[in-house]
């Protein structure tokens, strides 16, 4: 599966189900251009994962909403929940490892942890 262009119009629909890797990038960014082939190759090898690219120049609203300060920034969502974020290009082996971790993640445990945190915050208010 090739990478898909993510915009503010298709963002919510794209990340709501399954595993989604997002690459925040810009044309002028050297490290972004270096990371692009690694990201593209992973998208071809993992058809069960969505790989989206967000051009921070064209999608300034999305970039600002996620407080993107440096690019490339990689974000991973699973079932609508952000589970990872890191600035900087990853080598192919690190990206593969991250994909594996995202696939193995127990989302019931993640949701339970989020519920606990929200309950604790409610008690503090």
Active-site residue flag, 44: no
Annotated catalytic residue within 6, 32, 90, 95: 32
Active-site residue flag, 32: yes
Annotated catalytic residue within 29, 50, 75, 90: 29
- How far is Cα 114 from Cα 125, in angstroms, rounded to an integer? 17
- With a CB cutoff of 8 Å and minimum separation 6, the contacts of 106 are none
| Backbone φ/ψ region at 67: left (φ over 0), alpha (ψ -120 to 50), beta | left
- How far is Cα 30 from Cα 13, in angstroms, rounded to an integer? 30
Q: Which two tokens stand for residue 103?
A: 């696939």
Q: What is the DSSP letter of 80?
A: T
Which residues are known catalytic residues? 29, 32
């Amino acid at each position: 599966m090739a990478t898909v262009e993510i915009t503010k119009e298709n963002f919510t629909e794209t990340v709501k189900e399954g595993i989604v890797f997002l690459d925040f990038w810009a044309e002028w960014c050297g490290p972004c251009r270096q990371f692009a082939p690694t990201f593209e190759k992973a998208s071809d090898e993992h058809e069960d994962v969505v790989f989206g690219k967000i051009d921070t120049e064209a999608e300034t609203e999305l970039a600002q909403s996620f407080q993107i300060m440096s690019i490339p920034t990689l974000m991973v969502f699973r079932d609508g929940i952000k589970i990872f974020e890191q600035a900087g290009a990853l080598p192919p082996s690190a990206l593969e490892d991250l994909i594996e971790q995202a696939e193995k993640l127990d989302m019931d445990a993640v949701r339970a942890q989020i519920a606990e945190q929200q309950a604790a915050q409610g008690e503090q208010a």
